Amino acid sequence: MLSNRQLLVLQVIIDEFIETAQPIGSRAISKKQSVSFSPATIRNDMADLEEMGFIEKTHSSSGRVPSEKGYRFYVDHLLLPVHLSDRDQRTISNLFDQDLVEFEQVVQKSAHVLSDLTNYTSIILGPEVYETTLKQLQIIHLSETTALAILVTNTGHVEHRSFTVPEKIKATDLEKLVNILNERLIGVPIVHLHKQLQKELTSVLDRYVDNVETAFDYLKSALLDQHPNNIYYGGVTNIMLQPEFNDVEKVHSLYSLMEKNDLIANVLRTTGEGIHISIGQENKIDEMQDCSLITATYSLAGQQLGTIALLGPKRMEYSRVISLINVLSNQMTRTFNDW
């Protein structure tokens, strides 16, 4: 069990390291306002803390830096809830005072605010089309052999894909199909589209369309296949402002990771509801082992829509960032539910 003084020492070390990115020595700790012990006393506590794995030395006679276990303890037990600064609060309320009408817009602007305020990189996932319902389906013929399928959801999200129309499908068949689909499918959650189609409509369609199967397959693949991961990054250059990324190798590895959208999407999609923090090795992705990732979900009518996340060095301003991301994701959820 940690003594009160040890808790204090650990707190000071981490706070200080988060600010300066430099190892902290016993003398520096002893000089802090909140600490009234001599360096020698502090050194004893530091030795204990190191033995327990909360802090580390960079070399045998250096000051201490937090270990990942230290950060985890800090996040779990030492984090004092902070009130946001005036500037932070103003920036956020400015954002939500504009009347934004598109989901994507809200989410993207939130991400930008988040990365601007923190100097870390924001990542957002969603809003997931899967969670929304069909508003309208449309086919537009661009030429004899190509057509454009447009799908609009109730959240104002637009998906479109163009495809080659094979010769055996008549243009009129496609149109009929779309009309019928629109009659029957508006309001159906996108995620159920496929099942719904198969179950209820095949027989009905037979009457109207000559070549149901093929037309249907084409439409399906045009609309539902290769669903793009709805991933968006904000403030990607911020990473380079952090001293731990003063090495092109590291930046390169992280940026390459950001090109693998499906990997990141997977991680963000599988975080539970609310705020989650993973520190260093806790991250499943190799390239993130030197980073911390803070995620928060936003939702509509209790239904989880997507995730907003912040990627930075392990030496993150946890307390401030958590407050920010908390306020933002709540505001997002509120805004969506107001519509």
Partner DNA sequence: ATTAGCACTCGAAAAGAGTGAGTGCTAACA
Partner DNA sequence: TGTTAGCACTCACTCTTTTCGAGTGCTAAT
Task: Please report, as ranges, the residues that interact with its own copies according to CB under 8 A.
Answer: 99, 101-102, 135-136, 138, 140, 142-143, 146, 148, 150, 152, 154-156, 158, 160-164, 236-237, 240-241, 245-248, 251-252, 255-256, 259, 339
Pick from its own copies, DNA, none: which does 146 bind, CB < 5 to 8 A by kind?
Answer: its own copies
Pick from its own copies, DNA, none: which does 25 bind, CB < 5 to 8 A by kind?
Answer: DNA
Q: How far is CA 10 from CA 25, 37, 190, in A?
A: 12, 14, 50
Nearer to DNA, 41 or 196 (CB): 41
- How many residues are there in the chain? 339
Nearer to its own copies, 121 or 278 (CB): 121
**Shortest distance in whole angstroms from residue 31 CB to its own copies:** 32
The pairing of strands 64-66 and 303-313 is unpaired
**Shortest distance in whole angstroms from residue 251 CB to DNA:** 20
Pick from DNA, its own copies, none: which does 168 bind, CB < 5 to 8 A by kind?
Answer: none
Residues of this chain, 56-95, that bind DNA according to CB under 7 A: 57-64
Pick from DNA, its own copies, none: which does 97 bind, CB < 5 to 8 A by kind?
Answer: none
Q: Does 190 bind DNA (CB under 7 A)?
A: no
Nearer to DNA, 46 or 305 (CB): 46
**Shortest distance in whole angstroms from residue 3 CB to DNA:** 8
Q: How far is CA 75 from CA 14, 102, 268, 324, in A?
A: 10, 35, 20, 15
Of 1, 40, 80, 301, the one binding DNA by CB under 7 A: 40
**Shortest distance in whole angstroms from residue 251 CB to its own copies:** 6
**Shortest distance in whole angstroms from residue 16 CB to DNA:** 10
With CA atoms as reference, report the closest residue to 268 among 226, 310, 302: 310
Burial of 228 (0-12, 13-18, 19+ CB in 10 A): exposed
**Shortest distance in whole angstroms from residue 61 CB to DNA:** 3
Residue window 6-35: x/- pattern of binding to DNA, with contact defined by CB under 7 A:
-----------------xxxxxx-------
Pick from its own copies, DNA, none: which does 127 bind, CB < 5 to 8 A by kind?
Answer: none
Task: Indicate if the alpha-carbon torsion angle 280, 285, 287, 291 is positive or negative.
Answer: negative
Q: How far apart are the first and last CA of the chain?
A: 50
**Shortest distance in whole angstroms from residue 23 CB to DNA:** 6
Of 10, 14, 46, 239, the one binding DNA by CB under 7 A: 46
Nearer to its own copies, 138 or 211 (CB): 138
**Shortest distance in whole angstroms from residue 136 CB to its own copies:** 6
Footprint of DNA on this chain (CB under 7 A)? Answer: 5, 23-28, 36-41, 43-44, 46-47, 50, 57-64
